[in-house]
Amino acid sequence: MIELLRDLVTDYTLRNVALGSALLGVVSGVLGSFAVLRRQGLLGDTLSHAALPGVCLAFLLTGSKAPLVLLVGAALTGWIGTLILLLIVRETRLGEDAALGIVLSTFFGFGIVLLTLISKRNDADQAGLDRYLFGQAAALVERDVLTFAALGGAALALVALLFKEFKLLTFDPDFAGSLGFNVDRLSAGLTTLIVVAVVIGLQTVGVVLMAALLIGPAVAARQWTNRLGVMIAIAALVGAASGVIGATLSFTQEGLPTGPTIVLTLTVFVALSLAFAPARGLAWEWARRRRQRGTLAAPALAVEPKGGRP
């Protein structure tokens, strides 16, 4: 254990991967809490898939594989996907789940086509773009971590600044509208911040697994509390812990991919929360029902009639 802690501080690769994964976990946990409470669990999956064609187009237009260039492209197409999603929901009779499915499949299909076309080019620079499908956290360097910190810090600062507005939007959008808030703008702003979280996570866990990091910490945190502020704090802690533990396990066990290991670690946290969280945990619910059955099955106390036995 002491040696692992020393490696976290001194080993360049492990330090960058652990820090980058922890930052991703915090940002995903905070923003994912709003998505889960608004019943938009599929939103992270949609936005991460919508970001794939942006990565490909950024490479085709610039010829650069610089992480910042590719992430800007991912953010643009993710944001465009968000606008299309909001437009479909507002202007058609389709439900939000159907709109999410349409945007997800269309953008992801377009991204796969672009990725296939790029792979057929006689261009050595295209190598490695496919890592955005499943992530490659082991390739994180200090520059990537600093980029994550800047983007994630800006997103968290905006959440803190607009916390009351986002809280109203999450629990009672009609009341927020009656107070004069522009609900559509707030919704678009919150979704844009989720796009930032998705962009941060593409290089670490990739398009396919990013949704798990947005949903998992929030689902785990929801089992422990009914207060939004506490839920956000727990979700950030669970996300950060999953990132650090997953990165460390991947580093110490040869052959374990970092992104999937982080997601599996997060799954353990979710399972423990679903099972043992007070008031909501399945184990507590089972024990409560068993006590209730025992109470109902207990024989009624005999009451002696007034005046004694006849």
Helices 282-297 and 258-276: angle between axes, nearest 10 degrees? 20
Secondary structure of residue 281 in the 3-state scheme: coil
| pTM across the whole model | 0.83
- Residue 300 gets which letter from DSSP? P
Residue 304 identity (one-letter amino acid): E
- Residue 139 gets which letter from DSSP? G
Handedness of CA 125, 128, 133, 135 (dihedral sign): negative
pLDDT in tens, the chain (310 residues): 565 566 556 666 778 888 888 999 999 999 999 989 988 777 777 888 888 898 889 888 888 777 778 888 888 998 888 788 878 878 888 777 788 788 888 988 998 898 888 877 766 455 566 677 767 777 777 888 888 888 899 999 999 999 999 999 999 988 888 888 888 889 888 888 888 888 888 877 877 788 888 899 999 999 999 999 999 999 999 999 999 999 888 888 777 888 888 999 999 999 999 998 887 778 777 777 777 776 766 554 444 555 555 4
What sections of the chain are H helices per DSSP? 2-10, 12-37, 41-62, 67-91, 96-119, 131-134, 142-161, 163-171, 173-178, 183-222, 228-252, 258-276, 282-297
84 Ramachandran zone, left/alpha/beta (phi>0; psi -120 to 50) = alpha
CATH class entry, domain 16-297: mainly alpha
